[in-house]
Amino acid sequence: MAARVVSINISGRKGVRKRPVDTAVLKDDYGIEGDAHASGRWHRQVSLLALESIRKMQAMGLKVGPGDFAENITTEGVELPVLPVGTKITIGDAVELEVSQIGKLCHSRCAIYEQAGDCVMPREGIFVKVIKGGTIRVGDGIRVEGSGKA
């Protein structure tokens, strides 16, 4: 299976589930236009989580899907947590990203953690900086440069 974008998700404020959109514009060294986490000048401009990780939570009985973990881009076919910081990712023909952080520390337990006693985003989600912006669409291919993972 080729690696691809399954869902693009945005929200107007932080700390809430994101809603799906068909396309998004990523701006150089900023993030996704219209998303609360886009602010530039920091290393967590865009978040990614694999559909494979979401399926782990579904297997625990949770009714969750893309965007419910507040990830911006839901992927399929890429083993995100094993990508080293600095790995380059290309989405579609032009958008270039660079892995800037693997996982994150959750300061408070989210609703998903409260329901299941676990959440995959802190361990399996990754964050990237936008190196070269452009428009991405659901279904776009994903290429990982230099790691051999996709």
Q: What pLDDT is recorded for position 69?
A: 80
Q: What pLDDT is recorded for position 25?
A: 97
Percentage with pLDDT > 90 across the chain: 53
The Cβ of residue 26 has, within 10 Å, a number of other Cβ atoms equal to 28
Q: What pLDDT is recorded for position 108?
A: 55
Q: What pLDDT is recorded for position 63?
A: 82
The kind and range of the H/E element at 114 are helix 111-116
Which own/partner contact pairs does 95-98 have at CB distance under 8 Å and 24+ positions apart?
95/26, 95/130, 95/132, 95/133, 95/134, 95/135, 95/136, 96/130, 96/131, 96/132, 97/26, 97/46, 97/128, 97/129, 97/130, 97/131, 98/128, 98/129, 98/131
Q: What pLDDT is recorded for position 149?
A: 47
CATH 2.40.33.20 corresponds to the domain 4-145: yes
42 Cβ neighbours under 8 A, 6+ residues apart: none
Q: What pLDDT is recorded for position 131?
A: 96
Q: What pLDDT is recorded for position 36?
A: 85
How many residues are recorded in the chain?
A: 150
The pTM of the full predicted model, rounded to 2 decimals, is: 0.86
Residues of the chain with pLDDT under 50: 107, 111-117, 148-150
Q: What pLDDT is recorded for position 116?
A: 44
